[in-house]
Chain A
């Protein structure tokens, strides 16, 4: 039963991601990405991580993507940027990087398929265990993550501020 659900979710995720990378309009791409993330959340749930699946929906699809969407709206990118995108994305541009990445994918598939572990059932890890690990052995990493987020806030505030254009003193005059 898990098999079928997984394949459907995986197919949606892959197709949605392909749509993301082929869209010219940034808004469409973002919406497809939300779909893809939701599909991945299903996969995560199937892999015995309900708490992580919830986080995926809330933080990724909910918070980060909405941030991006609002940002794009703020920049007010319209048809022109889509046309521009269309002009940039020529086969001449994308054919070689894509082939290279497919080679990489082939290698990854080969390596993953060499898995000689005996088949075993998926083990469910409940959120309590995650919480115990997070605030037990990973305490220091959690604190560092807190500092990272703080740095992100300060950095975003500092960089995002609209400053009057000041030239370096060597570039003046």
Chain B
């Protein structure tokens, strides 16, 4: 054979044609993914066997032989040998609400439905943007619905930021006449923020009391120790998630700051919180925190726990977001600078949207971890779902029951955590803008 090739010139275009059936369609998929080789075929068969064995014991236990109607574990066992789901049927309301008064239980339900409405514009870009303003009112509304009391307290809390914004405007106008615009802006921002926090810490309780004595509009108050079960998990989890996200962003930016004081403060906070177990912080919340607050303020235990969980998650969040910030090419910061965007605008418009997108898996990881960590509040005597287990299992009728109750709690947590995980995948897909 010689190495010479015949000269060649293409005589025309070859038109694209549909692929053969061995490449597309369900049969091709099965062949390609399940039986593509000896190893793959063996693993597929083993997988099928494992799934079959699981179902073979689970289906009779959970579905075919399970008992829904019985008054005690003995009853259950005498009827059939499957799962004793009668305990769930008898106690599920306690799992959901804890010891929340029966006739007031519509309130958490309304709060839950309103939460879904409030989350809609936050999570999905398709929702009307104006709804975001309504979402901003949700925290105070939910607080009022769940804890009850006069309507004045939540209204006073909501008034805080509005008054703060008005104060900021006034300060800004007055001060910009006297000094440099940038400094005036920072000063009035700090002033308004300080006054708003002072208002929340010292004035809200009094305003609530005074207005409440004049005109008592409100709901029956419900004490914190009555709140338990999934309701408690949701309160701590959702507030923790909502609070730790912005705080984490602020900490991550602070840690990257050129201002050495802010940088040291944020780094110190993050390292301290990460170095301490959550349980320690929860004990601090339940026992120690009271000593540090101004005398006379009674801080609700759930609120204290929410604050601690938020701070704890925020430290982790900050590190996750810092990873995203570090992954962003330096050119992005430079391009934003070169266009004349100031620090806040370049962070808000250029850096954070990209850094947060990179950090989505880590952020959702932290959220899921936080949500599951809410079960730790059992150590300070709060009755979250796992805490509710104790009284049920101590009940003579249900003594000895394990799988059904833990399984029920597991399903609850799985549904929410899996939901968050799916949402994060959806978000990643939606934010995909072609390869970089």
Is B truly associated with A? no
Residues of chain B having any CB pair with chain A under 8 Å:
none
Residues of chain A having any CB pair with chain B under 8 Å:
none
